[in-house]
Amino acid sequence: MKSLEELKAIREKMKNQVGLRNETSDQTRIVVGMATCGIASGARPVLTAFSNLVQEKKLENTVVTQTGCIGLCQYEPIVEIYEPGKDKVTYIEMTAEKAKEVVEKHLVGKLVVSKYTINEGGK
């Protein structure tokens, strides 16, 4: 059975770090819809993908969170991106592969992937 010893080591390691990140208003938020509609259409892998990619690319001041039903169930999985000072971008029918593209082109490259947004894809 795996024991909790490693957690003690993690605690020690983090004691020396300067301070833990707190929520501030100048954060970029990646909000994934996780209501029944979202979960049923594949939101869990999208959430995992964004979470892993944000860590991998070491994106600063960026959090991945969940939300409930947005009211556009037919377009789920939906991901809303809030960047400080910019309009919200709503991506629809997301997959883990599209998540990778969005992180690379939009979050890192600063160019919205319009073809995946609700304006281009939705009615």
Q: Which amino acid is at 65?
A: T
Give the binding range for another protein (CB under 8 A) out of 4-12, 81-89, 90-98, 104-112: 4-12
> Which residue, 50 or 116, is less far from another protein as judged by CB?
50
Residue type, 28: T
Beta carbons of 101 and 50 less than 8 angstroms apart: no
From 29, 35, 82, 93, residue interacting with another protein (rule: CB under 8 A) = 35
Q: With CB under 8 A as the contact rule, which of the stretches 44-52, 75-83, 97-105, 110-118 interacts with another protein?
A: 44-52
Closest-CA residue to 103 (of 13, 111, 17, 4): 111
Tokens of 104: 């690379």
CB of 9 to another protein, least distance (A): 9
